[in-house]
Amino acid sequence: MPPDRTPPPEIVCTGLGKTFQGGTEAVQALDLTFESGQTTALVGPSGCGKSTLLRMIAGLEEPSSGSVSIGGAAPLETRKRAGLSVAFQDPSLLPWRSVHGNIALALKLARKPVDSHSIDQLIQLVGLDGFADARPAELSGGMRQRAAIARALATRPGLLLLDEPFGAVDELTRQQLAQDLPRIWEAQGTTTILVTHSVSEAVLLSDRVIVLSPRPARIVTDIPIVLPRPRTQEMARDRTAADLIEQVFSALSDSKSEAEKPLAAQ
Amino acid sequence: MTLTAERGLRLLRPRIRRPDAWLGIIVVLLGWEAAGHVLTDSYVVAAPSQILLYLANEWQLMLRALWVTLGNATAGFVLGNLAALVLAALASAWPRSERVVTGLALIVFCLPLVATGPILRVFFGPGNGPQIVLAALAVYYTTLIPLLVGLRAAPDSWFDLVRSYGRGRFSALVHVRAMAALPYLFTGLQIAAPAAFLGAMVGEFTGSERGMGVLTIRALRALDVEMTWALATVATAVAILAYLLIGALARRILLEDPPVILAMPTQAVGASAAWRDTGLVVLLVLLAWAGAIWLFDLNAFFAKGPIDVVEALFVDPDAAQTRAALGKALGETAMFLIPGYLAGLAAGAGLAMLLTLVPALSHTAMPLAIALRSVPIVTTAPLVVLLLGRGAIGTITLVAIMVFFPTLVACLHGLRQTPGQIFDVFDSFAAGPLTRLFRVRIPAMLPAFFAAARMAVPASVLAITVAEWLATGGGIGSLMALSASLSDYDMLWSSVVLVSVLSALGYALVAFVEQHVLTIYAPEQI
Amino acid sequence: MTHTPLSRRNFLTAGAAVAGVSALGFKPTLVQAQTTVSLQLSWLHSSQFAGSYIALNRGWWTEAGLEVSLLPGGPNAPVEPPVVSGTALVGISAADYTAAAVAEGAPFKILGVAMQKNPFVIASLPANPVNEPADLVGKRIGMALANTPVLQALCSLNGVDINGIDIVPTQYSAQPLLAGEVDCLLCWETDLPVAMTMQGVDNLTMLMADHGYSVHSQTYIATEDTLANRRAELVALMSGEVRGWEAYRADTDAAAALTLEMYPDAGLDLETQKLQAARQVPLMFSDLTDANGFGWWTDETVAANIETLALLGRTVTPDLWDRSILEEVHAA
pLDDT at B42: 66
Residue B6 has pLDDT above 50, yes or no: no
Residue A177 counted as domain residue: no
**Per-domain residue ranges for chain B?**
1-11+38-261, 298-526
Residue C102 has pLDDT above 60, yes or no: yes
Q: Mean pLDDT, chain B, as a whole number?
A: 81
Beta bridge partners of C121: C187, C207
> Within this chain, do residues A20 and A49 fall inside the same structural domain, yes or no?
yes
ipTM at complex level: 0.84
Q: Percentage of chain B surpassing pLDDT 90?
A: 22
Report the amino acid identity of residue A66.
G
Interface with A, mutate which of B6, B165, B169 (most A CBs under 10 A): B165
* B281 against B389, higher pLDDT: B281
Contact B211, B200 (CB under 8 A): yes
DSSP H/E element including B183:
helix B178-204
- Residue C200 contacts B, CB cutoff 8 Å: no
Domain count for chain A? 2
- For B70, residues 6+ apart whose C-beta sits below 8 A from its C-beta are B197, B200, B238
Compute the distance between CA of residue C173 and CA of residue B225 in angstroms, rounded to an integer. Answer: 11
Contact A146, A169 (CB under 8 A): yes
Residue A184 counted as domain residue: no
Per this entry, what is the length of chain A?
Answer: 266
Contact C112, C219 (CB under 8 A): yes
Q: Can you give the residue range of the structural domain that contains A79?
A: 2-83+161-166+191-265
Residue B222 main-chain phi, psi, to 5 deg = -85, 5
Compute the distance between CA of residue C308 and CA of residue C310 in angstroms, rounded to an integer. Answer: 5
User: Are residues C100 and B296, on separate chains, in Cβ contact within 8 Å?
Assistant: no
> Within this chain, do residues A75 and A113 fall inside the same structural domain, yes or no?
no
pLDDT at B420: 56
Which of the four pLDDT bands, split at 50, 70 and 90, describes residue B137?
Answer: very high
Residue A92 counted as domain residue: yes
Residue C66 main-chain phi, psi, to 5 deg = -120, 125
Residue A80 has pLDDT above 90, yes or no: no
Q: What is B1-11+38-261's CATH number, 1.20.1740.10, 1.10.3720.10, 3.40.630.30, 3.40.50.10480? A: 1.10.3720.10
SS3 (DSSP) at A191: strand
- Residue A96 contacts B, CB cutoff 8 Å: yes
Please give the DSSP secondary-structure letter assigned to residue B385.
H
Residue A125 counted as domain residue: yes
Ramachandran area for residue A222 (φ above 0: left; ψ -120 to 50: alpha; else beta): beta
> Within this chain, do residues A76 and A92 fall inside the same structural domain, yes or no?
no
Question: What's the alpha-carbon Rg for chain B, to the nearest Å?
Answer: 23
- For A16, residues 6+ apart whose C-beta sits below 8 A from its C-beta are A27, A29, A30, A31, A32, A53, A56, A63, A65, A66, A67, A68
Compute the distance between CA of residue C185 and CA of residue C182 in angstroms, rounded to an integer. Answer: 7
Give the Cβ contact number of residue C269 at 10 Å.
17
- Residue B60 contacts C, CB cutoff 8 Å: no
Domains defined along chain C, listed by start: 8-117+215-331 (3.40.190.10), 120-211 (3.40.190.10)
* A2 against B114, higher pLDDT: B114
Residue C266 has pLDDT above 70, yes or no: yes
Q: Mean pLDDT, chain C, as a whole number?
A: 87
Compute the distance between CA of residue B485 and CA of residue A238 in angstroms, rounded to an integer. Answer: 97
Residue A186 counted as domain residue: no
- Residue C4 contacts B, CB cutoff 8 Å: yes
Residues of B in contact with C272 (CB under 8 A): 222
> Within this chain, do residues A137 and A209 fall inside the same structural domain, yes or no?
no
- Residue A229 contacts B, CB cutoff 8 Å: no
Choose one of A98, A133, A156: the last residue of a domain.
A156
User: Are residues C12 and B125, on separate chains, in Cβ contact within 8 Å?
Assistant: yes
Residues B335-391: tens digit of each pLDDT:
999 999 999 999 988 888 888 777 767 666 766 676 666 666 666 776 776 677 667
Residues of A in contact with B167 (CB under 8 A): 109
Choose one of A137, A156, A175: the last residue of a domain.
A156
Compute the distance between CA of residue C230 and CA of residue C14 in angstroms, rounded to an integer. Answer: 14
- Residue B199 contacts C, CB cutoff 8 Å: no
Residues of A in contact with B158 (CB under 8 A): 92, 94
- Residue B4 contacts A, CB cutoff 8 Å: no
Among B372-381, B482-491, C49-58, C271-280, the minimum mean pLDDT is found in B372-381
Contact A152, A125 (CB under 8 A): no
> Within this chain, do residues A261 and A197 fall inside the same structural domain, yes or no?
yes
Please give the DSSP secondary-structure letter assigned to residue A7.
P
User: Are residues B223 and C269, on separate chains, in Cβ contact within 8 Å?
Assistant: no
Q: Closest partner residue to B43 among C97, C171, C175, by Cβ?
A: C175
Q: What is B298-526's CATH number, 1.10.3720.10, 1.25.40.10, 3.60.21.10, 3.30.1460.30? A: 1.10.3720.10
SS3 (DSSP) at C166: strand
Residue A179 counted as domain residue: no
> Within this chain, do residues A149 and A108 fall inside the same structural domain, yes or no?
yes
User: Are residues B161 and A92, on separate chains, in Cβ contact within 8 Å?
Assistant: yes
User: Are residues B157 and A88, on separate chains, in Cβ contact within 8 Å?
Assistant: yes
Residues of C in contact with B201 (CB under 8 A): none
Choose one of A134, A156, A178: the last residue of a domain.
A156
Nearest C-alpha in B relative to C269: B222
> Within this chain, do residues A256 and A128 fall inside the same structural domain, yes or no?
no
Give the Cβ contact number of residue C94 at 10 Å.
23
> Within this chain, do residues A234 and A256 fall inside the same structural domain, yes or no?
yes
Q: How close, in Å, is residue C294 to chain B by CA atoms? A: 26
Residue A16 counted as domain residue: yes
Ramachandran area for residue A228 (φ above 0: left; ψ -120 to 50: alpha; else beta): beta
User: Are residues B165 and A137, on separate chains, in Cβ contact within 8 Å?
Assistant: no
Residue A203 counted as domain residue: yes
Among A20-24, A98-102, B8-12, B385-389, the minimum mean pLDDT is found in B8-12
